[in-house]
């Protein structure tokens, strides 16, 4: 299997499918900072404006997953798995009213994965 | 003595079973008739219901605010200050009750809400009551016959979105300057902590003319977004994280309105070797400054979550810092002896545990803590984390991301330049701490660190009258200070000629 930077759990995939049925095409943007920061935000695609500095990490359940470039510089050696947990969130992420919240779990990319992704090892 | 949980026999706090929105001076049912449960992180159980507002409720609130803005904006500064002062008095008279309520809803220790959150709420209302009386416009004499007058005018109706980590204090930081400046407000509390704001409106609602303060609860996407993107607000203020901060700026750009943002940080707390030159009060104070990472369970935008320690004292510092951290008392937030309470929500707990996990996987060493805190009885289903110290290097993710938990990452530095370089290797610049007995070092470090506030030989003080705000990705604007008035005011310039003669151009 080719190396990826981001993947998702089955529970996250199910939730993404439900949200897509309700809101149409979606986009993820990984947040940073206070409160609900360091959590992925899920928006209707086109609502959040992806900037020139944002980096596309990959797709989860067909939904593009972005992160700010400066933040990516500190994250690029890790693999992210989008999961979902009971919770309330804050911010404008679409899933919060359902009483659940997207979350990223992380692991360090292996040397082989880093090489395949074109990162220095 | 541990406070009795709210709504139990003998409790000093009684939440209503259900809170409506507060609009136009009245309790107003949400348009869709929906409510959501408010959960206390102390036990993980719901304790009341709160209106689940939507765009229709935001519009109703904006109607009320626009209806009130002409009269409130023309109310004299003296009368507005008087209202703020009365609000402060009313809060002070009910301080213990609000402190216990805040502790129950947010999970923070009551020793903090009694000693910090609520007294600071009072302080901020009084400060801005004073500020607006002392504020003066300007007169510029351009030449003998021409004068520029500068008047401060309110913006009109502003939107404010409040975070869950200091629900009442963050509301006060935003409400006090906005009201002092003569604005009407539509405020959206965090969905994790909506109830104490409604309790506050129960207490002070009668002091405000109807429509001056309107509170709409609900979820970000359902109530926050229709507020932030609304054409009828003249400004939006937000405390939260970077992605939502960007979205709010994006909405503001569509309406060409100003924003103020406070988006968090990853604050360095720098300990130079001379802190242990003597084993005295100051050395003890510095260690207390280190242990502040667990204040409010680390759910503070300025959590001193990167401890940078000069390598010549590293061994001694680690030993004493671990011992000091172990003196923290985790437990029931309603027990005044507790120093580390519950994380505010289940997703917050899960996020912190996910960070502790990646910290370990990246090879950071756990010096103490490193997991969920298991507490007995009713607290077993609450959201508790052990105060945790990692030792590692500044490029690790636990050094770069705001975990918003009682987790500090410690790394050594060689010398002054190395300390500053490491301190500044972050996307953020909200707070920082510098600890040294040398005034020159303190001054140079404080000026060199790229952060809006550098606590010098102290930490986590939040008095009104000291500007608070961020460099870099930490945000825009300065709260807690007179200069925040400028973020809630227009400048009106009257450029007046007192000459009876034509200019002679035509």
Residue that the structure tokens 């009668």 belong to: B206
Q: Please say whether the beta carbons of B479 and B469 come within 8 A.
A: yes
Enclosing H/E stretch for B311? none
CA gap B425, B107 in Å, rounded:
32
Partners of B395 on chain A (C-beta within 8 Å) are: 74
Are B402 and A41 a contacting pair at CB < 8 A?
Answer: no
CA gap B479, B467 in Å, rounded:
6
Residue that the structure tokens 């102290």 belong to: B458
Tokens linked to B475? 């945000």
Q: What is the ipTM of this complex?
A: 0.96
How many of the other CB atoms lie within 10 Å of CB of B377?
9
> What integer pLDDT is reported at residue A37 of this predicted model?
76
Distance of residue B21 Cα from the nearest chain A Cα, in angstroms: 17
Partners of B262 on chain A (C-beta within 8 Å) are: 34
Residue A97 C-alpha from the chain's centroid: 19
A53 touching B, CB under 8 A? no
CB-count exposure of residue B96 (10 Å: 0-12, 13-18, 19+):
middle
> What integer pLDDT is reported at residue B86 of this predicted model?
98
Supply the angle between the helices B439-448 and B416-424 in degrees, to the nearest 10: 30
Q: Is the pLDDT of residue A89 over 90?
A: no
Which position among B102, B262, B299, B402 bears the catalytic label? B262
What does the radius of gyration of chain B's CA atoms come to, in whole angstroms?
24
B440 touching A, CB under 8 A? no
| pLDDT tens readout for residues A29-84 | 999 988 877 899 999 999 999 999 999 999 999 999 999 999 999 999 999 999 99
Enclosing H/E stretch for B484? helix B483-486
The mean pLDDT value of chain B amounts to 97
Q: Are strands B428-429 and B471-472 parallel, antiparallel or unpaired?
A: antiparallel
CA gap B404, B414 in Å, rounded:
28
Testing the interface with B: which of A45, A91, A107 to mutate, by most B Cβ within 10 A?
A91
Q: Which of B240, B262, B350 sits opposite A36 (nearest CB)?
A: B240
Rounded-to-10 torsion of CA B140, B487, A30, B292 = 110
CA gap B285, A104 in Å, rounded:
37
Q: Please say whether the beta carbons of A96 and A15 come within 8 A.
A: no
Are B347 and A94 a contacting pair at CB < 8 A?
Answer: no
- Known catalytic residue at B184: no
Helix ranges (H only) for B306-405 are 314-326, 346-361, 397-400
A4 pLDDT band, cuts 50/70/90, is very high
The candidate with the shortest Cα–Cα distance to B182, out of B334, B74, B290, is: B74
What are the C-alpha distances in Å from B10 to residues B2, B3, B4, B105, B343? 12, 9, 6, 18, 26
The mean pLDDT value of chain A amounts to 95
Q: Please say whether the beta carbons of B217 and B23 come within 8 A.
A: no
DSSP secondary structure string for all residues of B428-463:
EESEEEEE-S-HHHHHHHHHHS-SSEEEES--S---
A121 pLDDT band, cuts 50/70/90, is confident
Q: Enumerate residue ranges in chain B where pLDDT < 70.
A: none
Helix, strand, coil percent content, chain A, rounded in steps of 5: 25, 40, 35
Distance of residue A18 Cα from the nearest chain B Cα, in angstroms: 16
Partners of B265 on chain A (C-beta within 8 Å) are: 33-34
CA gap B245, B238 in Å, rounded:
7
- What values do phi and psi take at A110, rounded to 5? -75, 165
Q: What is the CATH number of domain A6-116?
A: 2.60.300
| pLDDT tens readout for residues B127-145 | 999 999 999 999 999 999 9
B346 touching A, CB under 8 A? yes
Q: Which of A32, A78, A96 sits opposite B191 (nearest CB)?
A: A96
CA gap B44, B274 in Å, rounded:
45
A14 touching B, CB under 8 A? no
Q: Which of B250, B264, B345 sits opposite A34 (nearest CB)?
A: B264
Q: Which of B39, B221, B403 sits opposite A97 (nearest CB)?
A: B221
- Known catalytic residue at B301: yes
Distance of residue A60 Cα from the nearest chain B Cα, in angstroms: 18
DSSP secondary structure string for all residues of A92-116:
T-TTGGGTEEEEEEEEEPPHHHHHH
Q: Is the pLDDT of residue A90 over 80?
A: no
Are B402 and A86 a contacting pair at CB < 8 A?
Answer: no
């Amino acid at each position: 299997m080719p190396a990826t930077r981001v993947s998702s759990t089955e529970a996250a995939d199910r939730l993404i499918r439900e949200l897509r049925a309700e809101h149409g095409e979606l986009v993820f943007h990984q947040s940073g900072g206070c409160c609900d920061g360091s959590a992925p935000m899920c928006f209707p695609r086109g609502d959040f404006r992806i900037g020139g500095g944002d980096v596309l990490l990959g797709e989860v359940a067909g939904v593009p997953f972005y992160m700010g470039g400066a933040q990516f510089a500190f994250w690029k050696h890790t693999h992210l798995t989008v999961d979902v947990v009971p919770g309330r969130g804050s911010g404008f992420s679409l899933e919060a009213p359902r009483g659940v919240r997207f979350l990223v779990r992380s692991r360090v990319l292996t040397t082989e994965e880093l090489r395949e992704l074109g990162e220095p090892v | 003595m541990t406070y009795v949980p709210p709504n139990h026999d003998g409790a000093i706090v009684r939440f209503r079973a259900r809170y409506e929105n507060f609009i136009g001076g009245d309790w107003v049912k949400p348009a869709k008739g929906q409510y959501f449960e408010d959960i206390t992180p102390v036990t993980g159980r719901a304790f009341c219901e709160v209106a689940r507002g939507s765009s229709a409720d935001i519009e109703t609130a904006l109607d009320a605010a626009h209806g009130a803005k002409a009269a409130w904006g023309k109310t004299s500064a003296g009368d507005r200050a008087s209202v703020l002062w009365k609000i402060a008095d009313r809060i002070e008279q009910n301080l213990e009750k609000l402190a216990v309520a805040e502790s129950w809803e947010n999970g923070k220790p009551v020793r903090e809400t009694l000693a910090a959150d609520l007294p600071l709420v009072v302080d901020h209302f009084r400060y801005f009551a004073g500020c607006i009386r002392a504020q003066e416009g300007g007169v510029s004499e351009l030449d003998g016959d021409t004068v520029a007058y500068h008047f401060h005018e309110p913006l009109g109706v502003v939107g404010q979105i409040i975070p869950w980590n200091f629900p009442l204090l963050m509301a006060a930081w935003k409400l006090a300057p906005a009201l002092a400046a003569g604005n009407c407000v539509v405020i959206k509390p965090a969905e994790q902590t909506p109830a104490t704001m409604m309790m506050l409106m129960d207490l002070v609602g009668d002091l405000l003319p109807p429509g001056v303060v309107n509170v709409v609860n609900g979820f970000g996407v359902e109530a926050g977004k229709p507020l932030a993107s609304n054409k009828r607000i003249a400004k939006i203020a937000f405390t939260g994280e970077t992605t939502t901060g960007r979205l709010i700026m994006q909405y503001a750009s569509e309406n060409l309105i100003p924003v103020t943002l406070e988006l968090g940080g990853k604050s360095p707390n720098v300990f130079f070797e001379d802190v242990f030159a003597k084993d005295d009060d100051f050395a003890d104070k510095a260690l207390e400054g280190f242990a502040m990472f667990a204040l409010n369970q680390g759910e503070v935008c300025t959590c001193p979550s990167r401890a940078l320690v000069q390598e010549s004292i590293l061994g001694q510092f680690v030993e004493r810092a671990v011992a000091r951290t172990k003196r923290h008392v985790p437990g029931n937030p309603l027990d005044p002896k507790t120093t580390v309470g519950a994380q505010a929500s289940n997703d917050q707990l899960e996020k912190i545990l996910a960070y502790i996990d990646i910290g370990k996987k990246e090879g950071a060493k756990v010096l103490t803590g490193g997991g969920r805190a298991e507490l007995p009885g009713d607290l077993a289903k609450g959201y508790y984390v052990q105060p945790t110290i990692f030792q590692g290097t500044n490029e690790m993710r636990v050094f770069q991301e705001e975990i918003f938990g009682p987790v500090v990452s410690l790394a050594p530095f060689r010398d002054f330049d190395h300390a500053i370089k490491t301190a500044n290797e972050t996307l953020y610049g909200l707070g920082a701490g510098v600890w040294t007995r040398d005034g020159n070092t303190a001054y140079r470090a404080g000026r060199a660190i790229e952060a809006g506030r550098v606590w010098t030989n102290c930490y986590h003080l939040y008095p009104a009258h000291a500007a608070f705000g961020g460099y870099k990705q930490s945000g825009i604007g300065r709260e807690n200070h007179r200069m925040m008035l400028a973020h809630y005011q227009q400048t009106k310039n009257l450029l007046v000629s007192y000459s009876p003669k034509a200019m002679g151009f035509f």
